[in-house]
Structure 1
């Protein structure tokens, strides 16, 4: 009996990939290679600018540097493998490799939403309690919020990974996706997946509902505070400090909801794959671009660094 189980124990998964249209492959490879290169440059650049610019040594940019770090690793968990698969006839990944990819991807995605909610709270304090901002958003408090985000994410990702990858998989082994994710993996299991389904729903609801509640409450209070301001210039300044973050939050949550909270169907599966591309690869590229193009302090810091570099040479 044990020998039969060992023979049927899965050692490899095979991805369906982004497309089965061979004519699209060269375009997709070049496009996503450029996206990944911009992601690396944008996020590394953002971390460096925040680190070396004294004007950006504030809680908002402390969170932003961690968001850039998470985006960099988050994209790197999926994109290099997907790029190599575009050039391969068979898109294989080992069982252990799939478990590791999912564990890191799920953990980093959870960390991202908690950092985004921390940034929303930071903006709330900045707009509603500007005189007490420094006293409330202390270095110790910011570090505690980041540490909490990572700890919750580690618990979530290890629990989900342990549940999913201790199930039995008896074949077929074709994952209708381009990376290891919950729905396509559970579809292939020949075990009872109810416990994993419940665990998934719990963590998705906990992470999204808790962070989204913080974001919505923070921005509701921010909007009320902005409307009470008598100065139009003050309103514009307050809104400009929040707009970059609000755009990043909207893009991320909309694509996540499309991917995980829509009922399954053949037509919607394609939509979900497109949404997955967006939040797994495009969003990590957009975040630093949005902040560098829309945030006046970041633009000013970049210009100062460029001018300093020109004077040195």
Structure 2
């Protein structure tokens, strides 16, 4: 798999089980987390949340990318959520449930013997666990670190932590959870490339996916790309080549609002310097499945 410049962001969207406790048959069933049309934010950054008995719950482990450390003590089976001094937030991929999902079960949860504290054993809070050992707490418990407001105008729970944690307007606006899409791992003669190019300063991002000839499914197959960036006078100002595999396709680009809900892959070229008149032209030659596709586009740099 390729190592990308934005790898640290992508990795931070992956929730990792940290000393969770798996649910077994003898565990006491507590109920179901349900998809909710209420959004939850920490300092303007969205975080996945769910409805449980009319309250908003979040997964404790997701706090690891919102400025928290989760400290496990195996001796007394406790987990403490503590602010770690970080000021940056890298939010998890968060989507608003579709209308057909709201109110439906997301996950069954169970009573839990793990003791969860806000702060270093400061405030004991109620938690539940799912079958995989992830822990869930009421979002209101985060008031220990700041304040929690219900904002009916936007149907949202907003958590405010004012100890230096980043509080800029989020660049990750909530988008609907994508509908399931049919995928193939091979190309046929009438399949097409779906693509776009963006530029920010001296950088160009080329995003692409393959769509079948009928426009009803998408293809995640390996291949290679070679793309060239020209300035408005036709001079080459940068080139980039790279191989890609099925593992490189992601919904991350949809999360950023750069594509619709399909899996896609992207390629990054930086170090171009300031483009004359802020404009450039991108040509990409993509080879996959024995076919070659050409994509061309003009882009305007945003400085």
With the length of structure 1 as denominator, give the TM-score of the two structures: 0.23
Greater strand content: 2
Greater helix content: 1
Structure with larger RCO (C-alpha < 8 A, sep 6+) = 1
